[in-house]
Amino acid sequence: MKSVYGMTFNALENYFVEHGDKKFRATQLYEWLYQKKVTSFSEMTNLKKEVIALLEQDFSMEPLQLLKIERDKDVNKYLFELEDKEHIEAVLMLHDYGNSICISTQVGCNMGCHFCESGRLKKVRNLDASEMVRQILSVEQDLGKRISHVVLMGIGEPFDNYDQVVSLIEIINHDKGLAIGSRHITVSTCGIIPKIEAFMKLPYQVNLAISLHAPNDQLRSQLMPINKVYPLAQLFPVLKEYIAQTNRRLTFEYILLDGVNDTPDCAKELAQLLRGINGYVNLIPYNETNHLEWKRSKSETITQFYDILKKEKISVTIRREFGSKISAACGQLRSKKEDEA
C-alpha cells in the first residue's frame, strides 16, 4: 500500500477532488501528519469517518523500522530497514544553529566513487519520497525536537533519483508540511549535468553542493567514474549558468585523501579552477573504512591545503568532524549490516 508520506500537497488536493471532496482536506491532512505528527488516521478528529475510511483504504502510515542507533557527542547515526528488507541510514548532527539530518536517497549507489563506502555496495533501487520523509520523521521522534536542516548527502546520488527527490523537497518545504526553508535544504551531486540544468529551473532556493574531490579531469576520473561522462570542462559552464540563474552560492565538497589529492599543487590547481566563481570549498577529513584502502590526510596537510586556498582568496572551511566513536563514514552502518547477512 502506498505511504501517505510520499504525497505532495498538490497530489493530495487532486486526490480529494477526484473522490468528490474539497481541496482543503489536503491542508487538514498535512497539519495532522507534519505539525501534530499523529501516527494513525483515526486520530484525525476533524475528518469525517468516511474520509478516514477512504484514507485507510488507500494509504499506509507505517514508520520506517529502526534497527539500530549509534550515538556520539552531538551526532546520532540511524540504521533503518525498509519494507523489502533493504537497509539505509541517516545521520543527525546537532549544531548551534539547529538540528541537521543527512538522509539517504537510494539503496546503494551506482556512481562508483572509489573512496566511498556507499558506492562499494551497488545501487539496489531508488527510495521513494515517503522513505526519505520518514527518515526525517523517525529521527525527529527519537530526538524529541524539530529538524531544521536537511542534507541529501547520505547513501545514493540524489540526481540519479531526481523526480522523487523533487517530491521530497516539495513535501518538506511546504508551509503546511515540515516547513523546512529552502535555504535549509542542501542537495549534493557528483555532477549529473542534465539534472543540474533541470534543477536550476525549479522555484526552490535550495542549496546545491558539488562533490568535486579533485582539481583536474585526470585525477577526478581516477576517483570518480562520473567524470568520464561529465568532465569538468563541461560541468563548470553549467555551474556558472546555475549561479547566474539562481543567484545561489555553490558548495564544493573536497574529501582529502592522503597522498592523492591533498598536495600543495592540488590546492593551487583547485584555486585556479574556482577563481571568480560564487562558491566556497568545504574540506572534508576522510573517514577511513575497513573495506577501502584510502587513508585520511594528516592534520598538518589539511591545514596547509586550507592555508593555500585562503592565500589564493578562495572561501574555504574545514568540516567539523562528527562521530569519531561510531560508524561515521557514509554507508558504513549499512555495510556492517550487509556483512552480517
CB within 8 Å of 157: residues ≥ 6 apart: 105, 106, 109, 110, 111, 189, 190, 192
Chain length of the chain:
341
Cβ neighbourhood burial of 324 (10 Å; 0-12, 13-18, 19+): exposed
With a CB cutoff of 8 Å and minimum separation 6, the contacts of 70 are 76, 77, 323, 326, 327, 333
Task: Write b or e for each residue in 54-69: b if 16 or more Cβ atoms lie within 10 A of its Cβ, otherwise e.
Answer: bbeeebebeebebeee
Joined grid coordinates for residue 249: 552560492
- C-alpha to C-alpha distance for 59 and 64, rounded to whole angstroms: 15
Q: Give catalytic status of residue 43 as yes or no.
A: no
102, 116, 190, 330: which is the annotated catalytic residue?
330
| Pairwise CA distance, residues 235 & 250, whole Å | 13
Dist CA 249 CA 251 (whole Å):
7
- Side-chain half-sphere of 252: how many Cα atoms within 13 Å? 24
**CA angle at 232 for the pair 227 and 238, rounded to the nearest 5°:** 115
The residue from 89, 117, 157, 170 that is catalytic is 89
Quick one: DSSP state of residue 142?
A: H
Q: Are the CB atoms for 156 and 123 separated by under 8 Å?
A: yes
Cell triple for 297:
590526510
Residue 30 CA to residue 52 CA, distance in Å, equals: 14
- CA atoms of 36 and 327, how far apart (whole Å): 33
| Nearest residue to 4 via CA among 22, 25, 20 | 25
For 233, the enclosing helix (H) or strand (E) is helix 232-246
- Cell numbers at 28, concatenated: 487538514
Let me know if 102 is a catalytic residue.
no
Which residues are known to be catalytic? Answer: 89, 330
